[in-house]
């Protein structure tokens, strides 16, 4: 083989590791650049704490990280410590796998009231993201509302309903476990703007909503009656949708079990305003009818019917959204980097030499963790084809030159052994309590432990 390529992968979530794996296997060298001192992206900071089985994918990432040609450079932020232009001159190619860093908004009056949150803020908080520990959620409420019908909405509704016994063996922060379990909250309402056939959640996640120790699941059978367009859609729908309908019908047939909390799944309603004196107290809902969208599904169309719903805390869970990386093309409409099979495109629509993307910043915030494997493989294939064609290669600076630049800029990179020190400390803290880990929650603790 000719000289190994020196490659930068920006972002250490699943897409980053699924890109690094085949690049290392092809004999190339990968520096993975990450703004946090910890790797794994949403596997560490997004996956719900009561879903430890989903986090075991990090074992595959550990094997990738153990390869000699791999380096982790945490606590290095592109746009602050290094610019895209630096990466472009230091490496033969740069692959952005930075995910979707922010959330989508509803754009309705009252969305900025205290007590109105992005679901992603709650998720980052209970998962110990060091940037989100100062948020002050007021759970001194009787009803919470989650807007959206995706898996994140289910995660948030479920987390708010878990008992202390269910949360105790998880790696959720102690502060979040205390706050959630001591809340007087009685009801969590999940609002879908369309119907049950169009819900974006998956069946396993829906099914477990019916198995919670401290919360009943409530579905009004009338809301499962389908309009003709949804009936047609269901006839053509995947097994997942049919299974979801079976699960929902079983939920709707249940008698209330008298558990302390209840989760209510509602369909065909959209919030049009959040109301309250200085903080959320209620929301105005409009009832929707579903009309064919001309693409084989239906869209929600508001009717004249309105409803008031009291709620003390509201989480919008209507999808993530990508953020631009300074110096790299970004499509505001889709919140992604414009690309062709992972080759980032310039304004002229032609690929930029040596710039690639994979994961959510490439295709948008869809799919499960494993979806990123195929996605990253496509990008790697494009990159390797470009190397084969002589489009990229022969420019990469040495690892020592990269390190020297970081030192010169006063950047204290957390290398993989630093993360291993954090990992060991967290696991050791969790072990006596039967927990997988107790996460460090502040930048200071994380950096000090990595140094230690």
Binding site for ligand NAP (CB under 6 A): 106, 147-153, 155, 193-194, 198, 200, 202, 205, 270, 317-320, 365-368
Provide, rounded to whole angstroms, the least separation between the CB of residue 435 and ligand NAP.
20
Q: Give me the torsion for CA of 192, 193, 195, 201, rounded to 10°.
A: -40
Q: Which two tokens stand for residue 44?
A: 């560490």
Provide, rounded to whole angstroms, the least separation between the CB of residue 45 and ligand NAP.
12
Nearest to 148 by CA among 318, 321, 311: 318
User: Toward ligand NAP, which CB reaches closer, 316 or 343?
Assistant: 316
User: Toward ligand NAP, which CB reaches closer, 219 or 352?
Assistant: 219
Provide, rounded to whole angstroms, the least separation between the CB of residue 131 and ligand NAP.
19
Is residue 140 classed as helix, strand or coil in its secondary structure? coil
Task: With beta carbons less than 8 A apart as the criterion, state whether 143 and 189 touch.
Answer: yes
Q: Which two tokens stand for residue 406?
A: 């970081």
Provide, rounded to whole angstroms, the least separation between the CB of residue 418 and ligand NAP.
28
Provide, rounded to whole angstroms, the least separation between the CB of residue 149 and ligand NAP.
3
Nearest to 65 by CA among 21, 99, 120: 21
Q: Residue with CB nearest ligand NAP? A: 150
Provide, rounded to whole angstroms, the least separation between the CB of residue 285 and ligand NAP.
11
Task: With beta carbons less than 8 A apart as the criterion, state whether 450 and 419 touch.
Answer: yes
Beta-carbon count within 10 A of 452 CB: 10
Enumerate residues 6+ apart whose C-beta is below 8 A from 196: 223, 224, 226, 244, 245, 248, 267
Cα(145)–Cα(189) distance, rounded to whole angstroms? Answer: 5
Provide, rounded to whole angstroms, the least separation between the CB of residue 367 and ligand NAP.
5
Residue that is written with structure tokens 């056939």 in the block: 197
Provide, rounded to whole angstroms, the least separation between the CB of residue 241 and ligand NAP.
12
Task: With beta carbons less than 8 A apart as the criterion, state whether 155 and 162 touch.
Answer: no
Enumerate residues 6+ apart whose C-beta is below 8 A from 132: 121, 124, 125
Provide, rounded to whole angstroms, the least separation between the CB of residue 12 and ligand NAP.
18
* Runs of H (alpha helix) within 264-335: none
User: Toward ligand NAP, which CB reaches closer, 156 or 450?
Assistant: 156
Nearest to 355 by CA among 92, 109, 38: 92
User: Toward ligand NAP, which CB reaches closer, 39 or 46?
Assistant: 46
Task: With beta carbons less than 8 A apart as the criterion, state whether 161 and 215 touch.
Answer: yes
Nearest to 206 by CA among 257, 252, 151: 151
Is residue 392 classed as helix, strand or coil in its secondary structure? coil
User: Toward ligand NAP, which CB reaches closer, 25 or 368?
Assistant: 368
User: Toward ligand NAP, which CB reaches closer, 75 or 149?
Assistant: 149
User: Toward ligand NAP, which CB reaches closer, 267 or 416?
Assistant: 267
User: Toward ligand NAP, which CB reaches closer, 171 or 205?
Assistant: 205
User: Toward ligand NAP, which CB reaches closer, 196 or 354?
Assistant: 196
């Amino acid at each position: 083989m000719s000289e190994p390529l020196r490659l930068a992968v920006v972002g250490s979530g699943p897409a980053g590791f699924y890109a690094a794996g085949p690049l290392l296997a092809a004999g190339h060298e990968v520096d993975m650049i990450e703004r946090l001192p910890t790797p794994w992206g949403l596997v560490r900071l997004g996956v719900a704490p009561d879903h430890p089985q989903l986090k075991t994918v990090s074992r595959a990432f550990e094997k990738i990280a153990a390869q000699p040609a791999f380096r982790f450079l945490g606590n290095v932020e592109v746009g602050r410590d290094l610019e895209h232009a630096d990466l472009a001159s230091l490496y033969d190619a740069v692959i952005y796998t930075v995910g979707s860093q922010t959330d989508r908004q509803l754009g309705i009056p009252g969305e900025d009231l205290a007590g109105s949150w992005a679901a992603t803020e709650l998720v980052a908080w209970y998962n110990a993201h060091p940037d989100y520990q100062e948020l002050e959620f007021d759970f001194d409420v009787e009803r919470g509302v989650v807007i959206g019908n995706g898996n994140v909405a289910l995660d948030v509704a479920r987390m708010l309903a878990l008992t202390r016994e269910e949360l105790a063996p998880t790696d959720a922060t102690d502060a979040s476990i205390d706050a959630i379990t001591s809340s007087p909250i009685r009801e969590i309402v999940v609002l879908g703007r369309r119907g049950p056939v169009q819900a974006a959640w998956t069946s396993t996640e829906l099914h477990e909503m019916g198995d919670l120790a401290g919360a009943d699941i409530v579905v009004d059978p009338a809301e499962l009656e389908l309009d003709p367009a949804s009936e047609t859609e269901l006839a053509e729908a995947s097994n997942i949708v049919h299974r979801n309908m079976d699960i929902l019908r079983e939920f709707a047939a249940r008698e209330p079990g008298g558990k302390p909390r209840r989760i209510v799944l509602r369909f065909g309603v959209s919030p049009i305003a959040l109301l309250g004196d200085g903080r959320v107290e209620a929301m105005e809902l409009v009832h929707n009818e579903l009309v064919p969208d001309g693409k084989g599904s239906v869209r929600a169309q508001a009717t004249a019917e309105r409803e008031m719903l009291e709620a003390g805390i509201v989480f919008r869970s209507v999808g993530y959204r990508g953020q631009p990386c300074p110096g790299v093309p970004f499509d505001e409409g889709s919140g992604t980097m414009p690309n062709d099979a992972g080759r980032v495109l310039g304004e002229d629509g032609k690929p930029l030499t040596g710039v690639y993307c994979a994961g959510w910043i490439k295709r948008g915030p869809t799919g499960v963790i494993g979806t990123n494997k195929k996605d990253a493989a496509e990008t790697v294939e494009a990159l390797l084809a470009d190397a084969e064609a002589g489009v990229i290669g022969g420019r990469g600076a040495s690892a020592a030159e990269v390190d020297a630049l970081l030192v010169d800029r006063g950047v204290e990179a957390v290398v993989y052994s630093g993360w291993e020190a954090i990992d060991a400390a967290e696991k050791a803290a969790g072990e006596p309590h039967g927990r997988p880990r107790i996460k460090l929650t502040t930048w200071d603790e994380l950096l000090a432990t990595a140094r230690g």
